[in-house]
Amino acid sequence: MRRLLLLSVVISLATVSALLVSLFAFSQNSLASGSPSQGTFTQGATAGPNEPSLVNGTGPSDSVHDDAVVTTDGRPKNIVSVGRRHIGTPYRPSPPGLCRAFRSEDCSCFTRLVFKHFGKTLPESPVKQWQSGRNIARSDLRPGDLVFFKEAGRSRPITHVGIYSGRGNLLHASNYFGKVVESKMRYVRGYSGAKRLNWG
């Protein structure tokens, strides 16, 4: 009876170990192949759904009446308010799912939908969106700039994109939170760079 119990424990441990190894290998292969993780990786033990990584009091905004108001460089002033309308939209990877406004969005779907509102067409992946616009230094970030992350490391592909919303915050569709959120950018690992679209 003891041998049977011991054998059962050994088999269970071997099964769990094999499962963990396969999950780790899948996640590494997925990131290595360039498929976006959509904000899965966050820094710090406090970066949970009820912790300070989320911006308190930020909810959907219906303030889109000033669409025609632009900055001196021609950029619409209300990119952030249009982005905030998506807060709470369920996160769904696309592909394989569809990019559907206010129903299912991943990071690049979210940014595409926000900028489509202003007549800009962005590609379907964060890697391809990186090719849009001009490079912006982190110290020169302005609300409405696209911000990109390489969450698996500097030598890996871009895995995540969001919209800078000011004061160190980021609007993005996050797998970690399971929805579109506005969170503190410092909690998203692997800042890679930022782009500003051309509006002139």
- Active-site entry in 86, 99, 107, 109: 107
Tell me if residue 109 is catalytic: no
> 118 — phi, psi (to 5°)?
-105, 15
Distances (CA, A) of 49 to 53, 57, 75, 131, 152: 8, 14, 32, 31, 21
- Active-site entry in 86, 99, 109, 160: 160
Tell me if residue 117 is catalytic: no
For 41, which DSSP code?
-
- First and final CA of the chain: distance in angstroms? 79
Tell me if residue 160 is catalytic: yes
Please name the amino acid found at residue 167: R
Helices (H), the chain: 2-32, 79-84, 107-116, 126-129
On whether the CB atoms of residues 89 and 105 are closer than 8 A, the answer is yes
Distances (CA, A) of 196 to 100, 116, 163, 169: 24, 15, 10, 16
- Active-site entry in 86, 99, 109, 172: 172
Residues annotated catalytic, as ranges: 107, 160, 172
